[in-house]
Amino acid sequence: MSQENRSNEENKEALSNAEKQRRYRERQKQAGKKELRGYLTPEALRCYQDIQQKTDWNDSTLISNALRLMYAAHKCGQIGLLNRWLNEHDR
């Protein structure tokens, strides 16, 4: 197989993977889901690892539940209390 043919095969495979990812993201969007991206601080990463290990949740479940719990804490007026606890325990 020539170098050009190999390159064309690799490009087709890459496009195929990109197309699969695009379709997956589109299905998630149609299901009413939103993709969130960001970077964790070292403290947040320790919390993430601890929760993930104890619950065996995947990233999507962990982030969804974390946001829902934070919302509940906000609605119950507990954000300040929880923030203080996190700061006092270097989390």
Domain boundaries, the chain: 1-35, 39-91
Which amino acid, one-letter code, is at 17? N
Query: Is 28 within 8 Å of 35 (Cβ atoms)?
Result: yes
Q: Does the pLDDT of residue 86 top 70, yes or no? A: yes
Q: What is the pLDDT of residues 3-27, one digit of tens each?
A: 666 666 666 666 788 899 999 999 9
Predicted confidence at residue 55, as pLDDT, reads 95
pLDDT tens column, 13-67? 667 888 999 999 999 999 998 888 889 999 999 999 999 999 999 999 999 999 9
